[in-house]
Amino acid sequence: MTIEELDQIAASARSEREKFEHEINVCHGTGCLSQHSDRVKESIAQALQALGKNAYVRRTGCMGLCAAGPLVLVDPEGSLYQHVNPSHAEKIAASLDDKPVEELQCNLREHFDQQVHIVLENSGRIDPERVEDYIASDGYRALLMALNDMTPQGVVRQITESGLRGRGGGGYPTGLKWGTVAKAKGDVKYVICNGDEGDPGAFMDRSVLESDPHRVLEGMAIAAYAVGASKGYIYVRAEYPLAVSRLTSCLRDARRHGLLGNNIGNTHFNFDVEIRLGAGAFVCGEETALIASIEGRRGTPRPRPPYPASSGLWGKPTLINNVETFANIAPIIRKGSRWFAGIGSARSKGTKVFALTGKITNTGLVEVPMGIKLREIIEVIGGGVPGGHKFKAVQTGGPSGGCLPESMLDIGVSYDALQSVGSIMGSGGMIVMDDTSCMVNVARFFMEFCMTESCGKCVPCRAGTAQMHTLLTRICTGAGTMDDLALIEDLCSTVKETSLCGLGQTAPNPVLSTLKYFRNEYIEHIVEKRCRAGVCNMEAAAEVLA
Amino acid sequence: MSKLKLATVWLDGCSGCHMSFLDMDERLLELAEVADLVYSPLVDAKEFPEEVDIALVEGAVASVDDEKKIKKIRDHSKTLVAMGDCAITGNVPSMRNSIGPEAILDRAYIENVSAQPQIPCIVVPKLLKVVRPIHQFVKVDVFLPGCPPSADTFYTAIKALVNGGPLDISALTRFGA
Amino acid sequence: MSEVGTEVKILVIDEQEVSAHAGQTILEVARENDIHIPTLCYLEGLSNVGACRLCLVEIKGSSKLTPACVTTVQEGMEVSTNSERLTRHRRTILELLFAERNHICSVCVANGHCELQSLGQELGLTHVRLPYRNPDLPVDASHERFTADHNRCILCTRCVRVCAEIEGAHVWDVMGRGVNCTIITDLHEEWGKSTCTRCGKCVQVCPTGALFDKSKIGSEHPKYPDFLPFLNMMREAQ
Amino acid sequence: MPVFTLPPLPSEDNRWKIVNGTMRKNGYARHALIEALHTVQSSFGCLDDDAIRFVAQSLRVPLSQAYGVATFYHYFTLKPPGKHTITICAGTACYIKGSDKLIAAAERKLGIKQGQTTADGEISLMIARCVGACSRAPVMLCDGELSGQMSAEQVQAQLERWAVE
């Protein structure tokens, strides 16, 4: 495959499209599919045929605004229809060349206007399983550009200059990581895509893998070229069957088109990717645990150094990046590092995809420039807290993150800012809580998660999370004392400072942040035996004391 | 100077700590010069006194009665000493914790009894679900681990408590000593 | 064991200047110089897992604590093996271990020979502030010579490592996750019916009374794990 | 030296051939353990001792190590699941939207605890740690099919539908 051939495919895909006067995109993301958007697509296709309309019906990936699903987007008019069911098919079909269907229209301008789509640029616009669709949207152009016109060092430099930082949570500079692996000695190197999105309340990676899988494969291939790897693994949760099946079919297509495999782009570059299924272990998001899992072992982390960049999969230099990180690569190569570095804030460049959920009107997936205020995401894009309830906290970073109160909403979203106020960027889960949530119970919820997800290898995480869970449960059942609270704070410090891996080191964060911002709720539980949200059963003490 | 008021208490334990206490032998006379034993299984007092300077407590908290006692002792003692592993860790009495009181009572009073098997319920205090060390109920000032702590440990520790001198417990004793 | 190079490094441990070979760990160098760092999962002759976190030390210039057993020395490194902060964490870790399972020293065959018990004394642990978890755990006495009492296991995985790395049988491993982890033989079968070679190495390396020899009674069970470096040396010589 | 030979298939059941196929595709490499266990579970519904032993011996993985892997990953189950499986998500978004009430309703209705199967082997009640459909919270999966914005009543209604089948 050469750039010319790529252009030909793109041109023919576009001319194929031009045969139709309209395109009707039907969202087939997980949210809309769960509301049978596949049937909506079928009905629309039938209705079009019956009415003899000249329109192309496409299944697409996630359009983002899951709260309003199933979603249907009609182009070129740009009409977005919400809550569509098969009975609306005829109306939609009939509306073509006429006025849009008023009662189905979704008019959330402010939801979309504040967003900047880089990672999600194709989501909801292309058929994820049609490589032609991807190629027609400049897909695989970046890979061929890199292979033909750039040296591996040049690619690393471009990524470094873009300022891209790892989107998995840690925020490590991507270019620096690539440079380390590129410089590492060894004739065999690996590239791993971390799609073990175990963070509850986050589904960005799922959505990207389901909506635009080729983009991730392209990013991996570019990375492989840059660091000198010829083999890649993409580690996906077994709980994401749709993502796995779409990836499988995309891998086949990419190989068929010579975009993976040997002599990619008629160069000497060889690269292929295998899928590895996760099996339900949050800790496998930690890179050394993920490597152990790919090697077929228990997913327990090991002390670093040595870092995977020098000794990773089977002891070979290994580059591990997250799905969203890889999804950013192709546009950076195509449009340049300057363009990318022009978006975002001083030390956090580009955009971030967030899964906006919980007590918020517009649940779904949003992509915003770094530096945007939390308040804007929640109140403008998210449409605020529904049902006349009052905002209480927003949780970012999942079990490793923290809960931020109203007074912190004016900080800009960046790695450093979130960390400075006791939370983290994390992989992008953003869960809004209102006055019906008890913050002590929320802390207990996260501790239970960490306890069951602790691999059990190191003592502080294994036994410390269990002890903190016991003590928090005491408080949530009215049996807690101020001594218990002091013990919890003590354990937080030891678990944070002495645990072997990131899971343990960050497990106390939800407790520490709720203690920092909502300490009075803890005190109420202990002293007054009262839960202001009415969530905790304060008479359950006897059971727990046992 | 008036003598210190000393008390010793026996909760759920085997009395081994008291035996070891008595093993101080002639050194008990030295102790008697500075302290009066005002309450103890070794003396006749029935009620825990209003004010005690040092209370040595043997045994874990295993019943509602133990719980009531330890709270009262705490309220009336200036210095509370957890004496021996049962008071500090739960030790042997706590070995029933993973089994539960019902199964234990069944085994002791029903399964292994041929004549009139029944679980005693009159006068006998109700067992707590789990046996716990005394510091899970009240504040403890000094911990003297050991099963039992040796007579030397008692001597050194009590002397330090009486004289207000430094006390390095880990140099003297440990769990299971 | 780390791969030791010939290059010599000079570093400072607890304000004492010491020399070391490149590739040596902080723990190895400290022990050579009679500087004591507490350990539980570490055992000379086995691979290092860095799991017990007791050997964490402070390194000047880093706010993070570093496990001495898996960190190789660097020229000019300034290590502190003892501080108020380290002692506090080490004590809490020991408390976590004592509260995790049912450690009843007074009735344990390893009483007086137990590494957990000695460390408790060494670090001045007179009581455990945390609630005891009191898990219901089995005792496997199916083996003709040895017993496994899971109440006393601290999951240091020395048995797993010695069986896999030294004996070469890999009969032991860990099952489950988190606080539910348990050491097992074969497919979680009885030890006595497993593929165990009866070599007894696991018993000798077990730091507590979790694995013990049935012929020992009372608290008369010292353990002798020092054969490991010797075995390794003899193997290399062949 | 004895030459390593592959163990025979545990039975005539054709599904063992599928399991064997996965291992063969991976050259019987040790690192294929998790892949092979995935195939066992998708073919047989669970991992029993025979299956773990067969896979371990085929891949020359120590038995205890294979068992350790099988019990480490929560996606694997050692117990056969019921005819139907209801999985309620207990991820953060679902928790915030009251998934605990759904779980309680299902437990009440079935008379079992989460992670268990009814005595007649009909229905298993499982808890998921986020299925990534957070925008539709709270969600449940009935035999793998996802439904969002569930109420306790809807959970009970679904269980009743299965009961009358």
Domain range for C62 = 8-82
Q: Is the pTM of this model over 0.90?
A: yes
Q: Measured between alpha carbons, how far is C184 from C180 in angstroms, rounded to an integer?
A: 12
Q: The tokens of A391 are what?
A: 């905002």
Q: In this structure, are residues B40 and B57 in contact, taking their beta carbons and an 8 Å threshold? A: no
What are the C-alpha distances in Å from A5 to residues A132, A138, A335, A411, A413?
Answer: 12, 13, 21, 47, 41
φ/ψ (deg, to 5) at A403: -105, 125
CB nearest C178 (choices: A462, A470, A497): A462
* Reported confidence tier of residue D2, pLDDT bands at 50, 70, 90: low
Q: The tokens of A116 are what?
A: 């900047």
Residue A162's nearest CA partner among A329, A321, A338 is: A338
The residues pairing with C196 across neighbouring beta strands, listed in sequence order, are none
Closest-CA residue in chain A for C128? A487
Give the CA-trace dihedral at A172, A176, A177, A178, to 10 degrees.
140
CB nearest D133 (choices: A30, A294, A298): A30
> Looking at C82, C106, C125, which one is the last position of a domain?
C82
Q: Across the interface, do C134 and B147 touch by the CB < 8 Å criterion? A: no
**pLDDT tens digits, residue range A466-491?**
999 999 999 999 999 999 999 999 99
Report which DSSP code applies to A311.
Answer: S
Mean pLDDT for the stretch of residues A127-152:
96
Do C and D share at least 3 CB pairs under 8 Å?
yes
Q: Across the interface, do D67 and C177 touch by the CB < 8 Å criterion? A: no
Q: How many CB atoms lie within 10 A of CB D121?
A: 11
- Domain range list for chain A: 3-107, 138-341, 351-434, 439-545
Q: Measured between alpha carbons, how far is A393 from B39 in angstroms, rounded to an integer?
A: 56
Q: Measured between alpha carbons, how far is B70 from B68 in angstroms, rounded to an integer?
A: 6
* CB of B88 less than 8 A from some CB of C: yes
Homologous superfamily of A138-341: NADH-ubiquinone oxidoreductase 51kDa subunit (3.40.50.11540)
The residues pairing with D145 across neighbouring beta strands, listed in sequence order, are D142
**Please, which residues have CB within 8 angstroms of residue D29's CB and are 6 or more apart in sequence?**
A296, D59
CB nearest C177 (choices: A455, A464, A470): A455
Which one is the CATH code of A351-434: 3.20.20.70, 3.30.70.20, 3.10.20.600, 3.20.20.300?
3.10.20.600
**CB contacts < 8 A (C, D):** 42
**For residue A2, pLDDT beyond 80:** yes
What's the confidence (pLDDT) of residue A282? 94
Rounded to 10°, the helix A459-476/A482-498 angle is 160
List chain B pLDDT tens, one digit each, 177 residues. 689 999 999 999 999 999 999 999 999 999 999 999 999 998 989 999 999 999 999 999 999 999 999 999 999 999 999 999 999 999 999 999 999 999 999 999 999 999 889 988 888 899 999 999 999 999 999 999 999 999 999 999 999 999 988 999 999 999 998
Q: Across the interface, do C195 and D63 touch by the CB < 8 Å criterion? A: yes
Closest-CA residue in chain B for C123? B170
CB nearest C127 (choices: B95, B130, B133): B133
Give the gap in angstroms from C-alpha A342 to the nearest C-alpha of chain B. 59
Give how far the C-alpha of residue A51 lies from the chain's centroid of Cα atoms, to the nearest Å: 40
Do C and B share at least 3 CB pairs under 8 Å?
yes
- Domain range list for chain B: 4-172
Give the gap in angstroms from C-alpha D129 to the nearest C-alpha of chain A. 6
Give the CA-trace dihedral at A299, A301, A307, A310, to 10 degrees.
-40
**pLDDT tens digits, residue range A342-379?**
999 999 999 999 999 999 999 999 999 999 999 999 99
> Which chain C positions have a beta carbon within 8 Å of A455's beta carbon?
177-178
**For residue A545, pLDDT beyond 70:** no
**Amino acid identity, position A300:** T
Residue A445's nearest CA partner among D106, D92, D113 is: D92
CB nearest B92 (choices: C104, C126, C127): C104
Pairing label, strands B142-144, B77-83 = parallel
In a domain, C1, yes or no: no
Mean pLDDT for the stretch of residues A4-21:
92
Q: Which chains touch A (3 or more CB pairs under 8 A)?
A: B, C, D
Alpha helices in A137-263 (DSSP H): 141-149, 152-162, 174-183, 204-211, 213-227, 241-256
Q: Across the interface, do C179 and A454 touch by the CB < 8 Å criterion? A: yes
* CB of D55 less than 8 A from some CB of C: no
What are the C-alpha distances in Å from C95 to residues A66, A485, C92?
Answer: 47, 17, 5
Using DSSP's 3-state secondary structure scheme, residue C93 falls into helix
What's the confidence (pLDDT) of residue B1? 60
* CB of C104 less than 8 A from some CB of B: yes
Q: Across the interface, do C178 and A465 touch by the CB < 8 Å criterion? A: yes
Using DSSP's 3-state secondary structure scheme, residue C46 falls into coil
> Looking at C63, C82, C101, which one is the last position of a domain?
C82
**Amino acid identity, position A207:** S
The residues pairing with C149 across neighbouring beta strands, listed in sequence order, are C139
Mean pLDDT for the stretch of residues A382-394:
96
Homologous superfamily of A3-107: Glutaredoxin (3.40.30.10)
Q: What's B4-172's CATH class?
A: alpha beta
**CATH code for residues D15-72:** 1.10.10
Give the gap in angstroms from C-alpha B97 to the nearest C-alpha of chain A. 9
Using DSSP's 3-state secondary structure scheme, residue C91 falls into helix
> Which chain C positions have a beta carbon within 8 Å of A298's beta carbon?
174
In degrees, rounded to 5, the angle at the alpha carbon of residue A414 between the alpha carbons of residues A413 and A420 is 100
Q: Measured between alpha carbons, how far is A191 from B123 in angstroms, rounded to an integer?
A: 73
> Which chain C positions have a beta carbon within 8 Å of A452's beta carbon?
177-178
Looking at the fold, whether C16 and C33 belong to one and the same domain comes out as: yes
* CB of B130 less than 8 A from some CB of A: yes
Q: Across the interface, do D38 and A277 touch by the CB < 8 Å criterion? A: yes
What's the confidence (pLDDT) of residue C3? 63
The residues pairing with C20 across neighbouring beta strands, listed in sequence order, are C9
Give the gap in angstroms from C-alpha A212 to the nearest C-alpha of chain D. 16
- Give chain D's mean pLDDT: 94
Q: Measured between alpha carbons, how far is B66 from B60 in angstroms, rounded to an integer?
A: 8
Q: Measured between alpha carbons, how far is A26 from A53 in angstroms, rounded to an integer?
A: 17
Q: In this structure, are residues A396 and A424 in contact, taking their beta carbons and an 8 Å threshold? A: yes
Mean pLDDT for the stretch of residues A16-45:
93
Mean pLDDT for the stretch of residues A193-209:
93
Looking at the fold, whether C113 and C219 belong to one and the same domain comes out as: yes
Q: Which fold has domain A439-545?
A: de novo design (two linked rop proteins) (1.20.1440)
In a domain, C2, yes or no: no
Q: Measured between alpha carbons, how far is A522 from C48 in angstroms, rounded to an integer?
A: 41
Q: Measured between alpha carbons, how far is A233 from A277 in angstroms, rounded to an integer?
A: 10
Q: Across the interface, do D32 and A197 touch by the CB < 8 Å criterion? A: no
* Reported confidence tier of residue A494, pLDDT bands at 50, 70, 90: very high
Rounded to 10°, the helix A141-149/A323-335 angle is 60
* CB of B46 less than 8 A from some CB of A: no
What are the C-alpha distances in Å from C169 to residues A57, B134, C237, D61?
Answer: 61, 46, 22, 11
- Domain range list for chain D: 15-72, 84-164
What's the confidence (pLDDT) of residue C6? 75
Mean pLDDT for the stretch of residues C194-206:
97
Homologous superfamily of D84-164: Glutaredoxin (3.40.30.10)
* Reported confidence tier of residue A544, pLDDT bands at 50, 70, 90: very low
φ/ψ (deg, to 5) at A114: -80, -5
* Reported confidence tier of residue A456, pLDDT bands at 50, 70, 90: very high
What's the confidence (pLDDT) of residue A546? 41
- Is residue A354 within a helix (H) or strand (E), and if so which, with residue range? strand A351-358
Report which DSSP code applies to A382.
Answer: S
Q: Which 3-state string (H, E, C) describes chain D?
A: CCCCCCCCCCCCCCHHHHHHHHHHHCCCCHHHHHHHHHHHHHHHCCCCHHHHHHHHHHHCCCHHHHHHHHHHCCCCCCCCCCCEEEEEECCHHHHHCCHHHHHHHHHHHHCCCCCCECCCCCEEEEEECCCCCHHHCCCEEECCEEECCCCHHHHHHHHHHHHHC
**pLDDT tens digits, residue range B106-136?**
999 999 999 889 988 888 899 999 999 999 9
- What is the full DSSP assignment across A46-72? HHHHHHT--EEEEEES--S-GGG-S-E
Q: In this structure, are residues A352 and A367 in contact, taking their beta carbons and an 8 Å threshold? A: yes
Q: How many CB atoms lie within 10 A of CB A314?
A: 12
Q: How many CB atoms lie within 10 A of CB B124?
A: 11
Q: Across the interface, do B89 and C102 touch by the CB < 8 Å criterion? A: no
Do D and B share at least 3 CB pairs under 8 Å?
no
Q: Which chains touch C (3 or more CB pairs under 8 A)?
A: A, B, D
**pLDDT tens digits, residue range C56-98?**
999 999 999 999 999 999 999 999 999 999 999 999 999 999 9
Q: Which chains touch D (3 or more CB pairs under 8 A)?
A: A, C
* CB of C170 less than 8 A from some CB of D: yes
Looking at the fold, whether C103 and C42 belong to one and the same domain comes out as: no
Q: Is A367 left (phi over 0), alpha (psi -120 to 50) or beta?
A: beta
**For residue A269, pLDDT beyond 60:** yes
What's the confidence (pLDDT) of residue B128? 95
What are the C-alpha distances in Å from A346 to residues A333, A335, A416, A417, D22?
Answer: 21, 20, 10, 11, 49
